[in-house]
Structure 1
């Protein structure tokens, strides 16, 4: 009896051990399942929504330009001066006067100059009388000399006196002519049709022409045709050609854009503080005479242009980083030797290799690789997904027969 009871108890103990081993395996399996589930959910929750900023490919024209600053000036400008010294007696014009060629601008006092003319005329008259007397004496002595009634010395003296009288008359004629010219210089006339830009003298002012011709007026020939004189950096001058189109603005009319054409590229370098530039002349029509001499012009020279599909520089600079690759499961590898862009395709993006042409720093011409309407990626932002499940919902309930402290004991 005791033996049977002992055997039964041993059997029960063995059965309990087997059940505990089996339940332990179940518990370990459940725990592993829970861990895997939690990891999957956490990984899924760590992914982020990608929002792309894109641009649509379209046609356009790109220009390569050279920019510089210059000054507006008349095409033809004349400085009017005087060749004689004197006092300004009368001024007939002022700033901005429109004048005609030959129009009287100013007059110097003429009393001194007129006196010189009168003196020259008197000298001329005396010289003429002296010449007449010398001629008569020469003819008389010549006849006597030919008839052997006069000596060789007397004849030669008569010849010399006659020649001297002729020379004196020539000199007095020249002096009279110069005096009359100087008198005419007292009247200042306009050499061209134009506009008075500057008046440098006033009535009563003394002007002296001893060393250089003093400037009295500055006249612009035609203000409906202006030119811009600009200095182009040596790094850019190689791109500039005669005939290229130019646009420019001036501070006086910030909303207006004026047009012009490159007419001259001067070969003489201008060196300022070790900076080398070259002077470029731009012809600019000015029909409304809005442009004034001396205005500052900000010019833009179109040195090249190309038409075609255009792509923003941001699209070429955009790169797929590790974070974006992991979120969208895309490979960031490129075998292209050219440039790459990323094109939106549904909820994902794909790489395109492109060939580009002319660029202006903002856009590039696309020669191949893209079509009108393609959406190229410029940038991306991320919004992290928020899991709607609580921490409790992540943990599955334990199987029946298992409490929070492990398997139930069998008694």
Structure 2
């Protein structure tokens, strides 16, 4: 084949870039495309940078002077100071019920009656047994008198030698037996009398009386009902002695019980009166623990004045116990003590080209908090100085959960402390 026959077609050579003019045109075209891409990338970076702020915007709060009240919250139930469950010691059928719910009763007042017929019969039987025992005493006394006279005559006859010593022995034994029989008869009288007294007492117990002056809180018996007191005394009524004076028993968490003492004041609320608070005073903090579902609490009793009878036994109450009160102290928000400044990436927080081309894994809001610092005074608050966070060491005291007392440090009333960072969306 000739050399001329091996040359490619001119159109094909131009398409493949084998022609020198075509290759130069292709390089120029690639250079313009690259320049346009770099221009677009720089423009995008500029837009992104303009959409970001130079640094984070901080939220601040004012340090102020004021009063601080430290309170312990506990829940519990209201109950009467004296509450008595009234039952019956005897079994039988309820003949009548004399009182109802909320009735005021006096001590010894009859509240219910049991059918007394069986116990009356027992009383009559005991009375008859007593009468029989007393008759036996009379008989024994007569026998003792008779044997004593016979013994005296026998002794006279023995002195006159008209009776033998054996007859004297017999008379003396008979007299002693008569005296013993009289003692037995008298003991039977006492036994019969005791039985009669017990039956009369049992008969008296068929009248169920109030042991105190009070109010009937609960009644769980109806006429015709049978009650059995063989193993356990059944409860028929529940009485409260005085509802004008009540007590609130609350469960104090073991972490707070060390701050609670007798004599401290408290206020509490109940669901029935959501807009009203009631005063109370701690009268007792118990040492015995109560464990419910693994939570250890200690009972505390609070005295409550209920003169208007608005509170009722069994109401659930939430009490705030005042354990400490500070007057006119410097207060800092607790959020300021939890704040730590973020670690910025790039100058003034603006993303650089490397961070845009090689983005890192996001961390929360884009900032990494510094680890808390340990200071001699124990706490750090942050303030803005020339737009940048600056730390201030402070010594803290009591807290109510929202603000904390500043005992020592360079903070003054009116200072603005950082409590957080404003999160703003990038502008387009």
Residue of structure 2 in register with 1:370 after alignment: 411
With the length of structure 1 as denominator, give the TM-score of the two structures: 0.73
Structure 1 residues 396-407: aligned runs within 5 Å:
none
1:78 aligns with 2:98: no
Query: Separation in 2 of the partners of 1:77 and 1:174?
Result: 34
1:109 aligns with 2:149: no
With the length of structure 2 as denominator, give the TM-score of the two structures: 0.71
What CA deviation, in whole Å up to 9, does each residue of 1:269-299 have, x standing for no partner? 2233443332222222222222222222223
Relative to structure 1, is the Cα distance of residues 111 and 310 closer, same or farther in structure 2, using a 3 angstrom cutoff? same
Structure 1 residues 85-234: aligned runs within 5 Å:
85-148=91-154, 151-234=171-254
Secondary structure at 2:401's aligned position in 1? coil
What CA deviation, in whole Å up to 9, does each residue of 1:102-137 have, x standing for no partner? 221111112222222222222222222221121122
Gaps of 5+ in 1: 1-40, 387-411
Relative to structure 1, is the Cα distance of residues 231 and 335 closer, same or farther in structure 2, using a 3 angstrom cutoff? closer
Relative to structure 1, is the Cα distance of residues 73 and 170 closer, same or farther in structure 2, using a 3 angstrom cutoff? same
Query: Separation in 2 of the partners of 1:298 and 1:336?
Result: 38
Query: Separation in 2 of the partners of 1:335 and 1:74?
Result: 52
Query: Separation in 1 of the partners of 2:250 and 2:398?
Result: 25
What CA deviation, in whole Å up to 9, does each residue of 1:299-353 have, x standing for no partner? 333333333121111223334445599659xxx9999533333445787775433
Task: Please state how far the C-alpha of 1:89 moved relative to its aligned partner.
Answer: 0.9
The 10-residue stretch of structure 1 (95-104 or 295-304) with the greater mean CA deviation from structure 2: 295-304
RMSD: 3.3
Q: Do 2:341 and 2:389's aligned partners in 1 also have CA atoms closer than 8 Å?
A: no
Q: Do 1:48 and 1:382's aligned partners in 2 also have CA atoms closer than 8 Å?
A: no
Structure 1 residues 11-410: aligned runs within 5 Å:
48=54, 52-148=58-154, 151-307=171-327, 308-323=329-344, 337-338=376-377, 339-343=379-383, 351-368=391-408, 369-381=410-422
Relative to structure 1, is the Cα distance of residues 249 and 385 closer, same or farther in structure 2, using a 3 angstrom cutoff? closer
The 10-residue stretch of structure 1 (135-144 or 377-386) with the greater mean CA deviation from structure 2: 377-386
Residue of structure 2 in register with 1:14 after alignment: none
Query: Separation in 2 of the partners of 1:64 and 1:326?
Result: 45
Relative to structure 1, is the Cα distance of residues 273 and 313 closer, same or farther in structure 2, using a 3 angstrom cutoff? closer
Task: Please state how far the C-alpha of 1:203 moved relative to its aligned partner.
Answer: 0.6
Secondary structure at 1:306's aligned position in 2? strand
Task: Please state how far the C-alpha of 1:192 moved relative to its aligned partner.
Answer: 0.9
Query: Separation in 2 of the partners of 1:277 and 1:258?
Result: 23
Residue of structure 2 in register with 1:17 after alignment: none
In the comparison of the two structures, how many residue pairs are matched? Answer: 344
Task: Please state how far the C-alpha of 1:195 moved relative to its aligned partner.
Answer: 0.9
Task: Please state how far the C-alpha of 1:155 moved relative to its aligned partner.
Answer: 1.5
Secondary structure at 1:142's aligned position in 2? helix
Query: Separation in 1 of the partners of 2:144 and 2:239?
Result: 57
Q: Do 1:49 and 1:384's aligned partners in 2 also have CA atoms closer than 8 Å?
A: no
Query: Separation in 2 of the partners of 1:90 and 1:67?
Result: 47
Residue of structure 1 in register with 2:10 after alignment: none
Residue of structure 1 in register with 2:38 after alignment: none
Task: Please state how far the C-alpha of 1:87 moved relative to its aligned partner.
Answer: 1.4
The 10-residue stretch of structure 1 (96-105 or 263-272) with the greater mean CA deviation from structure 2: 263-272
Task: Please state how far the C-alpha of 1:49 moved relative to its aligned partner.
Answer: 7.5
Query: Separation in 2 of the partners of 1:273 and 1:350?
Result: 46
The 10-residue stretch of structure 1 (272-281 or 335-344) with the greater mean CA deviation from structure 2: 335-344
Gaps of 5+ in 2: 1-45, 156-169, 350-369
Secondary structure at 1:151's aligned position in 2? helix
Q: Do 1:48 and 1:385's aligned partners in 2 also have CA atoms closer than 8 Å?
A: no
Secondary structure at 1:231's aligned position in 2? strand
Relative to structure 1, is the Cα distance of residues 262 and 151 closer, same or farther in structure 2, using a 3 angstrom cutoff? same
